Amino acid sequence: MPGYELIGKEEKRNLIEIFEKSNGVFFAHGFDKLRKNKFRVRQFEKSLSKKFKINYCQCVSSGTAAIKVALKALNIKPGDEVITQAFNFIATIEAILDVGAKPIIANIDETLNMCPKDLEKKISKKTKAIIPVHMLGFSADLKNILKIANKKNIWVIEDNCEAVGSKYKNKFLGTFGDLGIFSFDFGKNITTGEGGCIITNNKKLYINCKEYHDHGHQLNPKFPRGNDTVKIPGFNYRMTEMQGAVGLAQLKKINFIINENKKRYKILEKKLENKFTIRKCIKDNEPSYDTFMFKVRDKKIKLKILNSLRRGIGTKNVPDAMKWHCAAYWGHALEKSQVIHAKKSLNLLNNYIAIPILLKKNLVFYKALANDIIKIK
């Protein structure tokens, strides 16, 4: 379920406190006396680090910004190549292009995430980073992707925007690569409206992210912010205190969200697995269960199922927003050869339907939904 379904009194209370206890300071830096030393974004970062068992966290204005900041932290520059996957969101490609690098597309496999075999074929002397994307709650094949990256000495950025809270080998996704990316936009597992973060155990990379996202500010304790020291040019990708306040409330709800997701997901899985092929989950992955994907080869049955879903719950990205989630459609951003290569992934995705898992649709609804799908011939 998206976190927006649970926005309520906790988020409202945290927002009101900015007015009542911090004189309406929405900026994440400075104004210490006026805000009475209450820093909500910094608190949110600490809470995220503690929750996801990671050393460093830098909040930013969006998941897209987080990818770009991560690329800049790794010093990815014009002439470099960055490999990501065909089933994705256009934001990953946009961030690669925005730092002047060249996006290279690897196809997906039956997990609907990056195919390690195709990844290995795409590596060249210019490859500087790999961005596997944990799409719609499920982990990419991290074991083999990291093995390839380590062998070739290539950076790995985990794009975990769509799987916040999911685990692999009992460890949170986003914590395996050199850098991990979260999104908190309005449709994600937890939301701050817009917003995102970069997580890492590498102190140097964290400092790079911290400085770049804030115009190069080093936040040198020896100087006031207006006379701060600087070593690199940066940009403005700062999160606001309002976003941080909402995030603090949302983060406390993530366990409930995933547990409720799982109940609904398992109802669909149990009832549909004998008739359809369910999306493959890699061994040791505990998904966030926010999307149920299943394969329907018969085009006529698929169309009937889609028509039925449109009357009750709709679909999630597949197939309703494929143009924004598959590289085969991105001729405006990719070289023709990359677009053509991605058509293999498009053909695979065209067999799937993705059902959103929503809190406001109870267990009885999902049981009835599954029964209705089974009856379609």
What is the set of active-site residues?
Answer: 188
Q: Are the beta carbons of 178 and 202 closer than 8 angstroms? A: yes
- Between CA 182 and CA 208, with CA 69 as vertex, the angle to 5 degrees is 115
How many helices (H) and strands (E) are present in the chain, helices listed first?
12, 13
How far is Cα 216 from Cα 35, in angstroms, rounded to an integer? 23
How far is Cα 326 from Cα 73, in angstroms, rounded to an integer? 27
Q: Extract the tokens encoding 45.
A: 């970062």
Residue 324 DSSP SS3: helix
How far is Cα 289 from Cα 261, in angstroms, rounded to an integer? 5
Residues in contact with 367: Cβ distance below 8 Å, sequence separation at least 6, in sequence order: 267, 271
Using alpha carbons, list the distances in angstroms from residue 48 to 56, 58, 59, 156, 241.
Answer: 9, 9, 9, 20, 15
